Amino acid sequence: MASAFKRLPLAEQQALMSRIVARCKATDSNPQKPPVVVFDLDGTLMDNRPRTLAILQELAHELKEEAHSAAGVFAAAQAEHLAYLLGDTLQKLGVDHPELAARAEAFWKTRFFSDAYLKHDVAVHGSVEFARACYEAGASLVYFTGRDLPLMGIGSFQSLRDLGYPIGVVGTELVCKPDAKIPDELFKRTEGPKLNRVGRVVAAFDNEPANCNAFLEMNPDAEIVFVDTQHLPGAPPLDPRVHIVSDFRMR
What's the average model confidence in pLDDT over 151-179? 98
Q: At residue 176, does pLDDT exceed 70?
A: yes
DSSP per-residue string spanning 134-196: HHHHT-EEEEEEEEEHHHHHHHHHHHHHHHT---SSTTEEEEEESSTTS-HHHHHHHHGGGGG
What is this structure's pTM? 0.95
| Element at 234 (helix H, strand E) | none
Which pLDDT does position 31 carry in this prediction?
A: 64
Q: Kindly report, residue by residue over 8-35, the tens digit of the pLDDT.
A: 999 999 999 999 999 999 765 566 689 9
Alpha helices in the chain (DSSP H): 10-23, 49-65, 71-75, 86-93, 98-112, 127-137, 149-163, 184-191, 209-218
What's the average model confidence in pLDDT over 162-188? 97
CA dist 52 and 105 (Å) reads 11
CA-CA-CA-CA torsion sign (82, 85, 86, 91): negative
Cα-to-chain-centroid distance, residue 59: 24
CA dist 133 and 18 (Å) reads 9
Which pLDDT does position 36 carry in this prediction?
A: 97
Instruction: Tell me the backbone φ, ψ of residue 195, rounded to 5 degrees.
Output: -65, -20
CA dist 173 and 177 (Å) reads 13
Q: At residue 99, does pLDDT exceed 70?
A: yes
> Radius of gyration over alpha carbons of the chain, in Å?
19
Which pLDDT does position 80 carry in this prediction?
A: 82
Beta bridge partners of 206: 226
Which pLDDT does position 189 carry in this prediction?
A: 96
* Percent of the chain residues past pLDDT 70, beyond the cut: 96
Q: Kindly report, residue by residue over 43-95, the tens digit of the pLDDT.
A: 999 999 999 999 999 999 999 999 999 999 999 999 888 999 999 999 999 99
CB 178 within 8 A of CB 138: no
Reported as a pLDDT band with limits 50, 70 and 90, residue 165 is: very high
* Structural domains for the chain: 10-47+123-245 (3.40.50.1000), 49-119 (no CATH)
Pairwise pLDDT comparison (65 vs 251), residue with the higher score: 65
Beta bridge partners of 175: 144
Task: For the chain, give the mean pLDDT.
Answer: 95
Sequence-distant (≥ 6) Cβ neighbours of residue 137 within 8 angstroms: 21, 22, 24, 25
